[in-house]
Amino acid sequence: MHNHEISIKFTIFESLEELSDNDKELLQKAIDVRDHAYAPYSDFKVGASVLLDTGEIFLGNNQENAAYPSGICAERVAIWSAMASVPHGKIKKIFISACSGKTVVDRPVAPCGACRQAIAEYETKQLSSIEIFFTGETGKIVKANSIKDLLPFMFDNSMLL
């Protein structure tokens, strides 16, 4: 029997003001694009911004569809837009913000399982960690240093060998 420990690290910011100026700008872009999400069924809007190693920023928001589950999450919209435009770029950071027309989202909203898997794919592909910042419309902001902090037993291409 082997005893293994898993270390998961998070940083919690009490407000936007605790972030660096660059991170504030990236989170604000996620907030701004969130407000343009197409969410007529759930009324739950999510925005995401992705920073590449080139300095380029890509945005995404959730896009719902009456034919569930044909919609897509903000994180994947932003990631796939970035990778379609800059296929050899490396994702440095992802910022996510969520709000609801039904209630105030006052706690951090982490990426769903499908988005975690998409982030894991690119983190594995680029051989470097992706910082993930997530928040609601008010309240704390959580920063994970890697998708491995959100998905410690992640499935990746090494399982297919």
- Tell me the C-alpha distance between 30 and 27, whole Å: 5
Token pair 């928040």 in the structure block, residue:
135
pLDDT of residue 154: 82
pLDDT of residue 7: 79
**Residue 145: strand, helix, or coil:** coil
Domains of the chain, CATH where assigned: 10-155 (3.40.140.10)
Retrieve residue 113's tokens.
Answer: 């399982």
pLDDT of residue 157: 82
pLDDT of residue 84: 97
Mean pLDDT of each 10-residue bin along the chain, 161 residues long: 78 95 98 97 97 98 92 97 97 98 96 96 96 97 96 83 74
- Tell me the C-alpha distance between 30 and 97, whole Å: 6
pLDDT of residue 2: 73
Mark residue 22 as left, alpha or beta (left: phi above 0; alpha: psi -120 to 50; beta: remaining).
alpha
Q: Is 75 a catalytic residue?
A: yes
**pTM, full prediction:** 0.93
pLDDT of residue 1: 67
Q: Of 14, 64, 75, 123, which one is the catalytic site residue?
A: 75
Alpha-carbon dihedral angle through residues 153, 131, 26, 23, given to the nearest 10 degrees: 140
DSSP state of 15: S
pLDDT of residue 8: 83
- Please state, in angstroms and as integers, the Cα–Cα distance from residue 41 to each residue in 45, 104, 109, 112, following that order: 10, 17, 19, 18
CA angle 157, 51, 72 (to 5 degrees): 65
